Amino acid sequence: MPDRPGARRAPSGLFAHTPVMPEEVLAALLPKAGAVCADGTLGGGGHAALLCEAVGADGVFLGIDRDPAAVRAAAERLAPYPCRKIFENRNFEEVGEALSRHGLSGIDAGLLDLGVSSYQLDEPSRGFSYSGNGPLNMRMDGADGSDGALTAYTVVNTYAEPELARILYEYGEERWSRRIARRIVTERERAPIETTDELVRAIRSAMPASARREAQHPAKRSFQAIRIEVNDELGGLARALTAWIDALNPGGRLGVITFHSLEDRIVKEAFRTRENPCTCPKEAPACVCGKVPDARRVNRKAILPEADEVAGNPRARSAKLRVIEKI
């Protein structure tokens, strides 16, 4: 899908991609001219371009991504927009530090798109892809593990079998988690599993024939689970949601796009807690904990992509947008 009418087109490059639910994001966040907007998951800058255009020459855009390649690509894509642009190569949990560093007091419109970028999925050298052979990496920041950072290689080759099975089941919702974990351990005892192809073969061989014939790639859930473990995605998301809601100006809105149930559950719980933080027992006649709401959910039900968008961009199929507003 091309950029919407009136928007500047992105330069060609590795991070060129189609942003999910672009019109829905703008309608939900309501970025105004002169506002401060922020994107904590820059990717190729697709959503960022929409925000930059909306806030105009008097606005400020803060873009955060822990992948330095994403920051470089977004800076190139957003160069034509006249707003003040700030780019930070850091974890999105650190939004408060990024704002303070640049003398910004808060955010009027913020976005977290939790999907892995097309470039990261499609570039075999990053190790995310089960369709192209590459090293077992899967780090969002692109680090190779030489600094001791956790990589997919470490998870696959050193985690105990029960821990592997737990990760595959909890993070990937993989029903064959025990069989796959057992096969991985058996294979690595012969020789370390070093590439994505080798891992895919181990996963396939552990699954019954009926599971291998399903429409979804048999390794998809396992790769998702290992990626989440490597990048601490669920723990990081919970911490980031607190930081981003704290960073909103009064009336400011945060939109979060999730792509699987584990993420969506964390977002729903975080939003509910900010809207109703009371910890008093339900049977208590009145609140005595003193905790008061500082935000409200804009949409009780998740906003979903339209059918025509899914037809043109299959990766949007499982996307859900939830929005919260600071009181």
pLDDT digits (tens, 9 = 90+) for 267-310: 999 999 999 999 998 888 888 888 999 999 999 999 999 999 99
- Residue 124 scores a pLDDT above 80: no
- Residue 99 scores a pLDDT above 80: yes
**Least confident among 7-21, 131-145, 266-280:** 7-21
Query: Residue 8's pLDDT band (boundaries 50, 70, 90)?
Result: very low
pLDDT of 5: 29
How distant is the alpha carbon of residue 28 from its chain centre?
Answer: 18
- Residue 1 scores a pLDDT above 60: no
Which pLDDT tens digit goes with each residue over 64-95? 999 998 999 999 999 999 999 999 999 999 99
Q: Which residue has the higher pLDDT, 254 or 125?
A: 254
Which residue intervals of 42-192 are DSSP H helices?
46-55, 68-78, 95-101, 118-122, 152-158, 161-172, 177-190
Query: Residue 34's pLDDT band (boundaries 50, 70, 90)?
Result: very high
The whole-number average pLDDT for the span 58-64 is: 98
pTM of the model: 0.88
Pairing of strands 248-258, 295-297: unpaired
Query: Residue 326's pLDDT band (boundaries 50, 70, 90)?
Result: very high
Q: What is the largest CA-CA distance in the chain?
A: 64
**Least confident among 129-138, 159-168, 192-201:** 129-138
Q: Find residue 61's DSSP bridge partners.
A: 37, 85
Question: Which percentage of the chain shows pLDDT scores above 90?
Answer: 77
Pairing of strands 248-258, 107-113: parallel
